[in-house]
């Protein structure tokens, strides 16, 4: 005889948690390899693999080493790869001309990937920081990042990547009006079917540090990026930025960083219904890896939990350095 008369025994939620099979049947959020975009770092040279100390397990790859890694990712069901170049400091200038060089590292990698792994979508980064002597996403004049001159440069960069065969362009610069300018230029150049995933709500975050190490922008950066990236305190501004970029011709939108901005992800998806992505950025990755290396957390468990959080918050996909590892684990069941 049960004495706990306060409990209504008709409703026992634990019934559905009793076994793995029952938990699987009622799971609301499902993660698959098809949800993942793999960000990779490029470097020049042949047969080069360079460890990134602040991102354990992540390397810069030369193009010849990238190709088999990309083929493996495609074989695991990962639909897209996103390229970030480590640019030789000698090629960095204040005018950022290397950004639209048809033979720059990114554009050579795009052509190589499309030739070798044609079923893998290639996403690019559109911002000037890898090519900028000042380390900023835009051109600097008299100590200020100038908007319209930067947009003109970004358009040239976008067209070079489109000509190289990119599938998805990822403007990550946060300049005003760049999505409309890039979209118009693509249409005029006959690239009518090219997809834009806009970094629409990109915050001036402290989570980017290891990424800047990976692309060699940390030492070059003068000042901060708060005049063009968003204030982390702002929510409604993110919705305005998303709405603007969709109106200007973005096909997909992104919130960056990820876990600290899940409220933004949910509101963006609920408000606009557009394809919504989040970037699990370098600092998030590094925190999980560091805590796991110290034995403070189970790294694989937290990795999966973090990725499920993005899906639960409404994201259609996630850019994550864990993509190959997760896809391989999912394939094994």
Dist. CA 220–CA 314, nearest whole Å: 36
Cβ(280)–Cβ(310) under 8 Å? Answer: yes
pLDDT, position 207: 92
For residue 3, the model assigns a pLDDT of: 53
Q: For residue 6, what pLDDT is reported?
A: 62
Torsion of CA 37, 41, 44, 45, to 10 degrees: -90
* pLDDT for 280: 97
Among candidate residues 202, 225, 269, 311, the one labeled active-site is 202
For 62, residues 6+ apart whose C-beta sits below 8 A from its C-beta are 42, 43, 44, 45, 46, 47, 48, 49
Where b means 16+ CB within 10 Å and e means fewer, 220-249 reads beeeebeebbbeeeeeeebbebbbbbbebb
In the structure encoding, which two tokens stand for residue 306, read together?
Answer: 């973090």
Residue 140 pairs in a beta bridge with 145
- Catalytic: which of 92, 222, 225, 256? 256
For the chain, the three-class secondary structure string (H helix, E strand, C coil) is CCCCCCCCCCCCHHHHHCCHHHHHHHCCCCCCHHHEEEEEEECCCCCCEEECCCCCCCEEECHHHHHHHHHHHHHCCCCEEEEEECCCHHHCECCCHHHHCCCCHHHHHHHHHHHHCCCCEEEEEECCHHHECCCCCCCEECCEECHHHHHHHHHHHHHHHHHHCCCEEEECCCCCCHHHHHHHHHHHCCCCCCEEEEEEEEECCHHHHHHHHHHCCCCCCCCCCCCCCECCCCCHHHHHHHHHHHHHCCCEEEEECCHHHHHHHHHHHHHHCCCEEEEECHHHHHHHHHHHHCCCCCHHHHHHHHHHHHHHCCCCEEEECCHHHHHHHHHCC
Cα 306 from Cα 122, distance rounded (Å):
24
Helix 105-116 vs helix 63-75: angle between axes, to the nearest 10 degrees? 40
pLDDT at 215: 79
Per-residue tens of pLDDT for the chain, all 333 residues: 455 556 677 888 999 999 999 999 999 999 999 999 999 999 999 999 999 999 999 999 999 999 999 999 999 999 999 999 999 999 999 999 999 999 999 999 999 999 999 999 999 999 999 999 998 999 999 999 999 999 999 999 999 999 999 999 999 999 999 999 999 999 999 999 999 999 999 999 999 988 877 777 666 677 889 999 999 999 999 999 999 999 999 999 999 999 999 999 999 999 999 999 999 999 999 999 999 999 999 999 999 999 999 999 999 999 999 999 999 999 987
- In angstroms and rounded to an integer, the radius of gyration of the C-alpha atoms of the chain is 21
**Cis status of the peptide bond prior to 151, with omega within 30 of 0:** no
What is the Cα–Cα distance from 110 to 107, expressed in whole angstroms? 5
Q: How confident is the model at residue 213, as a pLDDT? A: 77
Q: Which domains does the chain have, with CATH numbers?
A: 31-331 (3.20.20.70)
Whether 72 is catalytic is: no
How many angstroms separate the first and last alpha carbons of the chain?
A: 42
115, 127, 131, 246 from 201: Cα distances, Å: 33, 15, 23, 12
**Catalytic annotation present for 256:** yes
Task: Report the pLDDT value the prediction gives residue 163, as an integer from 0 to 100.
Answer: 98
Q: What is the pLDDT of residue 4?
A: 55
Give the pLDDT of residue 219.
Answer: 64
User: Is the full-model pTM beyond 0.85?
Assistant: yes
- What pLDDT, on the 0 to 100 scale, is given for residue 211? 82
């Amino acid at each position: 005889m049960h004495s706990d008369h306060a409990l209504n025994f008709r409703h026992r939620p634990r019934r559905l948690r009793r076994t793995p099979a029952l938990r699987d049947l009622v799971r609301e959020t499902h993660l698959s390899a098809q949800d993942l975009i793999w960000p990779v770092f490029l470097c020049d040279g042949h047969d080069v693999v360079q460890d990134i100390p602040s991102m354990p397990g992540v390397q810069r790859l030369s193009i010849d080493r990238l190709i088999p890694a990309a083929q493996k990712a495609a074989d695991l069901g990962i639909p897209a790869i996103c390229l970030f170049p480590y640019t030789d400091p000698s090629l960095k200038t204040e005018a950022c001309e290397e950004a639209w060089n048809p033979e720059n590292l990114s554009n050579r990698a795009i052509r190589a990937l499309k030739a070798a792994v044609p079923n893998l979508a290639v996403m690019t980064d559109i911002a000037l920081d890898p090519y900028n002597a000042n380390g900023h996403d835009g051109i600097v004049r008299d100590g200020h990042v100038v908007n319209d001159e930067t947009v003109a440069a970004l358009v040239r960069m976008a067209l070079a990547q489109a000509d190289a065969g990119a599938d998805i362009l990822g403007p990550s610069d946060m300049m005003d009006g760049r999505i409309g300018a890039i979209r118009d230029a693509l249409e005029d150049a006959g690239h009518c079917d090219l997809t834009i995933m806009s970094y629409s709500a990109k915050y001036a975050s402290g989570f980017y540090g290891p990424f800047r190490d990976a692309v060699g922008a940390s030492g070059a950066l003068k000042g901060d990026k708060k005049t063009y990236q968003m204030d982390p305190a702002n929510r409604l501004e993110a919705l305005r930025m998303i709405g603007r970029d969709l109106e200007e011709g973005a096909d997909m939108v992104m919130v960056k960083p990820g876990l600290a901005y899940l409220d933004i992800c949910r509101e963006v998806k609920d408000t606009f219904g557009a394809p919504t992505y989040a970037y699990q950025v370098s600092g998030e990755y590094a925190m999980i890896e560091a805590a796991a290396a110290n034995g403070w957390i189970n790294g694989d468990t937290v990795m999966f939990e973090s990725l499920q959080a993005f899906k639960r918050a409404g994201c259609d996909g996630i850019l994550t350095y864990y993509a190959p590892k997760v896809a391989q684990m999912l394939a094994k069941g």
